[in-house]
Chain A
Amino acid sequence: MVGYLFLAIAIISLAGFYAGRSKAQTSVGKLSELHSLPNFHGGFIAAWIGIPSIIVVLLWLLFQGTVIDNLLLSSLPADKVEGMDQAQLSLVLSEVRSVAAGNIFGDPEPHIIAAAERYNSWYSISRWSMVAVALAMCLIALLFTRSKISGRFRARHRVERIMDGIMVVCSVIAILTTFGIVVSLLVEALRFFDLVSPLEFFFGLNWEPQIAIRADQVTGGGAFGAIPVFIGTLQIAFLAMSVATPLGLFSAIYLTEYSGPRFRKAIKPVLEILAGIPTVVYGFFAVLVVAPSMREFGATIGLDIAPNSALAAGAVMGIMLIPFVSSLSDDAISSVPDAMRHGSYGLGATKGETIIKVLLPAALPGIMGGILLATSRAIGETMIVVMAAGIIATLTMNPLEPVTTVTVQIVTLLIGDTEFDNPKTLAAFALGLVLFVVTLMLNILAQRVVRKYRERYE
């Protein structure tokens, strides 16, 4: 239905395009008397037909559901819905919807059946009026814009103005996305802090978010002290960075300073493959290979390593970050001007001394920036820890035990039943807010470090 409507709009636009073009061509004796090329006249009509009607259809589709739901709720007999809370009302709504779709289970009450009939009829009214409105808009636009076309009509300027508008809207999407992230996280997190005090969340030592949704479920009491989760996140990020930093940095040193161009050309793509592997693959690798072999190794030297230890998750995350650290360090080291290298060699320094005493100090801000960015990635990384780290929050510094992270908690809290008035669901948004703020800070810090402490050699 909607697909056909879009098709119809597209066809009318196309027709409008040709109508405008031919009218422009016939309205003047010589083509050179036209202010704009005929295609611009056509494009002007097509844009006015297509864009407003598609916007209206999209808005209609977005809001018709909410409007009809509200109409339906107010039309239900008052004695049937009296005293119901939001959750029960939405249950009634979904029953009406499933009856309306023809999936009837058991014997629905008569008022539900009546509501379902109303629902169906309203939906068809809404759908047909949407089609009518959209087509009417197309036709009005066609008639109106076509009447404007004449030889002196400045169609090119109009079309270019429309293009400018579209481009501005598209570049505003980036702002809207950030805005959407901040607002949605803030709103849900504030609702969470209505239920749980921020003091408990930020300083509490006990994290047991699984609380009963139904009264008969047996679960934990529900405690939302996020310190163990934060500590676990930092621990895994630290382990990852202690794998990735040396390996990445030394790889970059070798690639920029020691290796020949052919070796460099051969090895760089290999490191890029490492960077291009999806994180879910790393997670599976951790579960399949790394954690069992660590466990086995631990058993031979008499250590009891948990199957979902922080060490395994951190090590695999470190592997994932090697190319990231290495390419950023590579950039930093190679951007140190050659004059400094040559000066150092001229004083008799070996290559190693030049690297350690001249290049690394000069490239340090860039390298630090890279490490900060990698840390931010490690903190925000999700799939590896979801698959390889623990779910239960334990306050421990031992890397051989399982710990959980912010991202693991977000995913586990939101998979399955999600009700927006439940502290369990809202807690995920509070954690998401913390994650967003921390990673953003790290990124800004990284950019500032690079900009502020970069030594300028001109």
Chain B
Amino acid sequence: MSDTALHSPPGPIRSHDWGSASARKRVKRRYMHDRILQWVGLGSIGTGVVLLLILLSSLVSTGLPAFQTTKVALDLFIDPSLVSREDPGKGNFRKITRDAFAKYFPDVTSRSDKRQLYKIMSSGAPFNVRKHILKNPELIGQNISYAVPLSDPYDQLHKGVIPRQIEALSRGQQQLGEQLKQRRLLSLEDGKTAANLTIFINPELVNAEDPAGGDFAPMLAEAIRAIFPRASPTITRDILAPDAADTVKQTVVEAPALIGKTLQLKVPVSQNFDNLFRTGEAMIDNPRFGDPKVFAWYDSLAERNLLQSNFSIELFTNADSRFPEQAGLLGAIAGSFFSLVVCFLLSFVAGIAAAIYLEEFAPKNKFTDLIEVNINNLAAVPSVVFGLLGLAVFLGTFGMPRSSPLVGGMVLSLMTLPTIIIATRAALQAVPPSIREAALGVGASRHQVITHHVLPLAMPGILTGTIIGLAQALGETAPLLLIGMNAFIPSIESIGILEPATALPTQIFSWADSPERGFVSRTSAAILILLGFLFIMNATAIYLRQKFERRW
């Protein structure tokens, strides 16, 4: 209330009719605005939830097939002349495996057919057999039944992830076909579809003396461009049959007078477009499989009940591999585990010590202010910068082993440290002062108060914060990439804290980058496993918080 308001002359008092039509309308409008805001808010939340559902469901639907592996049962004869009892590791398991597989197809004899045939089996199959024999050397010289994985395309075919036939024409090409039909430029000639084109016989391209030597393809391309002026040549080039130019050539050779003129001509369209126009769809065998013969072989395997689909334990027990059907996560899980152990050991001890100091002992001065500002800012530094720090200092200056879980864990511990410090301080603050005072009162020193009374009471809160920090560290990718913790680890023997390793998130990144179709579902499966670990960790944290949370 300002002075002027007090002294201003009172204006006429307007009476207001709240029941009038206009007032009612105004009130109604105001409440409508209110409701709109409410709906927009609900819509935003709904959008977020729907997006989360889309994310999870797409991961589940692409990832679930990777938990199954398709195998073919083989009757293997472990020939002692190929695998010696003394040194079974050097045996020719390739021949044993291939021979056993070829037994199913006695009528496949030619070399090139056999090469196609062997591609049905995983390229890693001989190694699976080798491992099995090394574990059970008494099998040498015996006939055994052993199932080996199919190679990736057949595995995916068996699971129905990739189809046997695919559409031959792109969506753009199908639209062009639709337009041709609508403009009535098509006709049926001897059971084949032909396009009715207006062709200008360009005298620059064909010579009246030698009409057969003319270059007719560009004229056809020009005619097509006249119909679809905006379509790119990469789409239109497949419309006409490869011998379409011959049709034009024949016409011109028969009537050389047409040179320089424009004529209407029915030209055959390509096989795929012909199929599209006559049957409504153009399908070809999936080029991923090469020769169409392979489908017959695959089907005969399926008919003889030789294919089996099992839970893929290999996903958890194998190390990485170039072949998706053989690739597993054991190396990545071990690498993540070792890094997290290092991270936990470093950041848990240091975090609690720093938090106790800052919360209980530190004098209030510039130095401790600086520490606090630092901790708060570190929590907001982009993770990739920590990777740069690790690369420059841990690898560059200290010369620690590249790609090792030790360095990975150290970098991660620098990132979790602020989280743990902040959580520990909150937990320490929550312990009521009466407990400290009581302990001091019976003669405990300040350190004894902390270690004997405050810290045990704060421990559930500290553990909750630590687990949440470790869960964040488990999902961190960028810093690990920079210190090279995305090594290719094909064997589980070389797992150690100083050895090159990979971690779950970096494994996901590497698999996501791999071109093979099978790695798409492996990546989703790896993500599901990572999310599973995160879920367990967070659930533990919530459980701890609820079980031990005390209010004073």
Contacts and interface: CB of A to CB of B under 8 A. Distances in A.
Interface of A: 62, 65-66, 156, 159-160, 163-164, 166-175, 177-178, 180-181, 184-185, 187-188, 246-251, 253-255, 257-258, 267, 270-271, 273-274, 276-285, 287-289, 299, 319, 322-323, 326, 350-353, 355-356, 373, 376-377, 379-383, 386-387, 407, 410-411, 414-415, 418, 420, 428-429, 432, 435-436, 439-440, 443-444
A277 B172 contact: no
A181 B33 CA distance: 51
A179 to B, nearest CB: 9
A285 B59 contact: yes
Given A62-B398, A420-B396, A439 B380 contact: yes
19 contacts: A171-B353, A171-B368, A171-B371, A172-B371, A175-B371, A188-B392, A248-B44, A250-B40, A251-B45, A258-B42, A271-B45, A276-B475, A279-B477, A280-B475, A281-B55, A326-B48, A352-B38, A382-B477, A411-B482
Nearest to B512: A284
Interface string B116-158: 0000000000000000000000000000000000000000000
Nearest to B451: A163
Interface string B510-537: 0010000000100110010011001000
Contacts of A288: 58, 62, 520, 524
Given A174-B354, A353-B30, A415-B481, A284 B349 contact: no
B354 A171 contact: yes
B421 A280 contact: no
B377 interface: yes
A246 B389 contact: no
B509 interface: yes
Contacts of B357: 164, 167-168, 170-171
Interface in B17-52: 30-31, 33-38, 40-45, 47-49, 51-52
B356 A435 contact: no
Interface size class, chain B: 35 or more
B377 A178 contact: yes
Contacts of B47: 247
B44 A380 contact: no
Contacts of A246: 44
A167 B531 contact: no
A174 B475 contact: no
B12 to A, nearest CB: 22
A213 to B, nearest CB: 17
Nearest to B353: A170
B353 A180 contact: no
B127 to A, nearest CB: 23
* Dominant secondary structure at the B interface: helix
Contact of A435 (B378, B384, B393, B475): B384
B44 A432 contact: no
A174 B418 contact: yes
Contact of B388 (A185, A273, A284): A185
Interface of B: 30-31, 33-38, 40-45, 47-49, 51-52, 54-55, 58-59, 62, 171-172, 349-351, 353-354, 356-358, 361-362, 368, 370-371, 374-375, 377-378, 380-389, 391-393, 396-399, 414, 417-418, 421, 445-447, 471, 474-478, 481-482, 486, 505, 508-509, 512, 520, 523-524, 527, 530-531, 534, 538
B134 to A, nearest CB: 24
A278 to B, nearest CB: 3
Contacts of A382: 382-384, 477-478
B48 A251 contact: yes
A180 B446 CA distance: 33
A248 B45 CA distance: 8
Contacts of A167: 353-354, 356-357, 361
Given A167-B354, A276-B534, A351 B34 contact: yes
Nearest to A319: B51
A184 B411 CA distance: 14
A278 B48 contact: no
